[in-house]
Chain A
Amino acid sequence: MTAAAAPALKMQRRSLYPGWFYLPAAVVYSVLFLAPTFASLYFSLTRWTLFDATFIGFDNFAQFFREPFLIQGLVNTVIYAVVTSGLKVVIGMALAVMLTSQIMARGYLRSVIFFPVLVSTIGVGMTFTVLMHPTQGMINQALALFGIAGPGWLVDPKLALFSVALVDVWKGVGLATVIYIAGLVAIPKDYYEAARIDGATRLQNFIYVTLPLSRPATATVITLSFIGGLRTFDLIWAMTKGGPGFASDTVASVIYKQYQAGFYGLSTAGNVVLFILIAVLVVPLTMFLNRKQGHE
């Protein structure tokens, strides 16, 4: 460091608050996040029970990837994440556009759409399992009234994963909508007025003004729902337990099954794999979504 650079650096480092202010947060973060993360990294390399651990190197990982249904679980996880986040973006944006325009009972409708977010995932899963029952479920009975033979939502291996994804979208789209509403109301009215004077139609307004200017909201929604989709477990477990067979297994449900079977080291290794999978997919995604665009 040169002598001239030193004072400048010192200036930069001067903070408003004393350094030890960050200690409580650092302690909580270390105990609850850092320590378990590193502990699980270590335990993924061992065969362990509650009382002892034997170091076995990468054996757990090797065994995990030999699991016949793991590859399907990985593929399912990515499909699930893409489908749910894609639908949440499209439906959330559409609902937000509707709920920020001049319509009747706007405030009421906003609460209605947000309501599923507040309900327990397990509760939602159980309810939809009943609704989606192939013969007695209300959905297929309603379809039958119109002469449509409803599919086996949760029992058809080709459909089960997508049925759960739809329920996930139903439950989570309220949050996406709220994020979009916040994004849309932040767009200055002047842009729409300028476009109106230039002769923009409603569709052109949407394409040239709303869509590009709500990109920060889109980035947030995609990131949140994509990560949520990758780590999904509770809804899958409540509705299909990964079935029929292994048709709707995701990485998280595979891990859970191994944990249930007492393979603690193996399931810890699975968690590390999931952690790496999320990081590998989400880091470049957020970098792409948040790339600088000449915004002010």
Chain B
Amino acid sequence: MAGLELKNIQKTYGKVEVIKGVDLDIEDGEFVVFVGPSGCGKSTLLRMIAGLEDITGGELYIGDKLCNDVEPRDRSIAMVFQSYALYPHMTVYDNVGFGLKLAKTPKDVRDQKIREAARILKMEHLLDRKPGQLSGGQRQRVAIGRAIVRQPEVFLFDEPLSNLDAALRVDTRMEIAKLHADLGATMIYVTHDQVEAMTLADKIVVLDAGVVQQVGSPIELYQRPQNRFVAGFIGSPKMNFVEVAVEAIGPDAITVGSKDVASLRVPAATAGISVGDTLTLGIRPHDLSPANTGAIVGRVAIVERLGNETIVNIELASGTAWLAVLDGDQALRIGESLALAAEPAKAILFDAAGKALLPTPA
């Protein structure tokens, strides 16, 4: 088993910089998820770790071995592709055993490993079939089986669930989590779906425009995002943002207000902030609750009643659209005015550059 170390990893295509100096430590046995919007460089970073893309600058260590120029097969990695990349002319058995065959593993050993992988993935009955005869979920299993038989130290997953339907995605997600628990191998997983990231990861790496925005545990990223991008990307539905002006600066807190938000005293780092500055206030939809004296007042635009909760789309005085997730079934009428209270301790302020003014943890 092995951890990974990325030191100032860079990737450029001609003059276009795709990965702009990534530093990252991945512990042995950790489940790390690279998450970010399309084009953020997460797949490129994974492919550089796999050895499918050259590393333009920086150093990549797998275990203690510098791997910049090591061939993919010698990196002790296995990769599951988004398309699964199963050979259509080979049976499941041959697909799973392909790497072992190339490595000239003796036939009986190969057979034993293929059957063991099939047992782990509960696909013994599929071994004689060809990929064209399998469902999406079954193909996914075969692709994972092909990775397992190689007994790699690091598993790489490139958006493995994106071709599955919603229900199957949830099941397969849980199976991958279970596989990680059983095998204890290091896994690196790329996705654009923050729910997958939150549910699977020990550690999430949020990327945007080739730069690591934040690295941390899912809860850390949710509760203490370091910037507006992370705050907006992690959490579903998205965090609400609105511009506010600084009204007063107290010890370890800033009082802000605007025509959308009556004075709200938010715990925050105050260094460099002065009265009159414009900041961005971020509040998660789940942290809002109806209250007659609430600081935030808006007009109900859309109501989605799910039974256990109600998602309300409200329009603030400035025209900004906010979402609120309210407990239980709320009978709200479109067009009526709704006052919402926010728990100040859960609100986050961002400076003009988008950096979060997080209070020092208690």
Cβ-defined contact, A199 with B88, below 8 A: no
Do A296 and B131 form a contact, CB below 8 Å, given A193-B52, A197-B50? Answer: yes
Determine whether A190 belongs to the interface, using a CB cutoff of 8 Å to chain B: yes
| Docked CA distance A196–B47 (Å) | 12
Determine whether B290 belongs to the interface, using a CB cutoff of 8 Å to chain A: no
Cβ-defined contact, B98 with A294, below 8 A: no
Determine whether A29 belongs to the interface, using a CB cutoff of 8 Å to chain B: no
| Docked CA distance A196–B103 (Å) | 12
For chain A, what secondary structure do more than half of its interface residues adopt (helix, strand, loop), or is it mixed? helix
Do A193 and B81 form a contact, CB below 8 Å, given A199-B103, A208-B98, A294-B132? Answer: yes
Cβ-defined contact, B130 with A197, below 8 A: no
Q: Which of A188, A199, A213 contacts B102 (CB 8 A)?
A: A199
Cβ-defined contact, A191 with B133, below 8 A: no
Determine whether A126 belongs to the interface, using a CB cutoff of 8 Å to chain B: no
Do A194 and B130 form a contact, CB below 8 Å, given A199-B73, A199-B99, A213-B88? Answer: no
Task: Give the Cβ gap from B85 to chain A, nearest Cβ, in Å.
Answer: 4
Cβ-defined contact, A196 with B73, below 8 A: yes
| Docked CA distance A200–B146 (Å) | 14
Interface size on A, residues (CB 8 A): 21
Cβ-defined contact, B72 with A197, below 8 A: yes
Q: Which of A188, A199, A200, A204 contacts B85 (CB 8 A)?
A: A188
| Docked CA distance A196–B72 (Å) | 7
Determine whether B228 belongs to the interface, using a CB cutoff of 8 Å to chain A: no
What residues of chain A lie closer than 8 Å to B146, measured between beta carbons?
A: 194
Cβ-defined contact, A194 with B81, below 8 A: yes
What residues of chain B lie closer than 8 Å to A197, measured between beta carbons?
A: 50-52, 72-73, 77-79, 99
What residues of chain B lie closer than 8 Å to A294, measured between beta carbons?
A: 88-89, 129-133
Task: Give the Cβ gap from B103 to chain A, nearest Cβ, in Å.
Answer: 6
Task: Give the Cβ gap from B271 to chain A, nearest Cβ, in Å.
Answer: 49
Closest to B130 in A: A294
Determine whether A67 belongs to the interface, using a CB cutoff of 8 Å to chain B: no
- Counted as pairs of residues, one from A and one from B, with CB atoms less than 8 Å apart, the total is 70
Query: Among the interface residues B71, B72, B77, B129, which one has the most CB atoms of the partner chain A within 10 A?
Result: B72
What residues of chain B lie closer than 8 Å to A204, measured between beta carbons?
A: 102
Cβ-defined contact, B83 with A198, below 8 A: no
| Docked CA distance A74–B203 (Å) | 74
Q: Which of A194, A195, A213, A295 contacts B132 (CB 8 A)?
A: A295
Determine whether A212 belongs to the interface, using a CB cutoff of 8 Å to chain B: yes
Determine whether B265 belongs to the interface, using a CB cutoff of 8 Å to chain A: no
Cβ-defined contact, B88 with A194, below 8 A: no
| Docked CA distance A200–B50 (Å) | 15
Task: Give the Cβ gap from A294 to chain B, nearest Cβ, in Å.
Answer: 3
Q: Which of A188, A196, A213, A215 contacts B83 (CB 8 A)?
A: A188
What residues of chain B lie closer than 8 Å to A198, measured between beta carbons?
A: 73, 98-99, 102-103, 150
| Docked CA distance A188–B87 (Å) | 10
Interface residues of A in 181-205 (CB under 8 A from B): 188, 190-191, 193-200, 204
What residues of chain B lie closer than 8 Å to A188, measured between beta carbons?
A: 83, 85
Cβ-defined contact, A296 with B99, below 8 A: no
What residues of chain A lie closer than 8 Å to B71, measured between beta carbons?
A: 199
Closest to A215 in B: B89
Determine whether A209 belongs to the interface, using a CB cutoff of 8 Å to chain B: yes
Determine whether A293 belongs to the interface, using a CB cutoff of 8 Å to chain B: yes
Cβ-defined contact, B88 with A296, below 8 A: yes
What residues of chain B lie closer than 8 Å to A200, measured between beta carbons?
A: 102
Interface residues of A in 29-48 (CB under 8 A from B): none
Interface residues of B in 215-264 (CB under 8 A from A): none
Cβ-defined contact, B89 with A213, below 8 A: yes
Do A191 and B87 form a contact, CB below 8 Å, given A196-B52, A296-B131? Answer: yes
| Docked CA distance A196–B51 (Å) | 9
| Docked CA distance A212–B91 (Å) | 13
Closest to A199 in B: B73
What residues of chain B lie closer than 8 Å to A293, measured between beta carbons?
A: 88-89, 130
| Docked CA distance A129–B349 (Å) | 87
Task: Give the Cβ gap from B51 to chain A, nearest Cβ, in Å.
Answer: 8
Closest to A200 in B: B102
What residues of chain A lie closer than 8 Å to B81, measured between beta carbons?
A: 190, 193-194
Task: Give the Cβ gap from B193 to chain A, nearest Cβ, in Å.
Answer: 20
| Docked CA distance A293–B90 (Å) | 9
Cβ-defined contact, B102 with A193, below 8 A: no
| Docked CA distance A3–B146 (Å) | 51
What residues of chain A lie closer than 8 Å to B129, measured between beta carbons?
A: 294
| Docked CA distance A193–B78 (Å) | 11
Apart from A188-B85, A293-B88, what are 9 other A-B pairs with CB-CB below 8 Å?
Answer: A190-B83, A196-B51, A196-B73, A197-B99, A198-B73, A198-B99, A199-B99, A199-B102, A204-B102
29 pairs of residues in contact across A and B, judged by CB atoms under 8 Å: A188-B83, A188-B85, A190-B81, A190-B83, A193-B81, A194-B79, A194-B146, A196-B72, A197-B72, A197-B79, A197-B99, A198-B73, A199-B72, A199-B99, A199-B102, A204-B102, A208-B87, A208-B98, A212-B89, A213-B87, A213-B89, A215-B89, A294-B88, A294-B89, A294-B130, A294-B132, A295-B88, A295-B89, A296-B132
Q: B residues bordering A, Cβ < 8 Å?
A: 50-52, 71-74, 77-79, 81, 83, 85, 87-89, 98-99, 102-103, 129-133, 146, 150
Closest 8 CB pairs of A and B: A199-B73, A294-B130, A198-B99, A190-B85, A194-B85, A212-B89, A296-B132, A197-B72
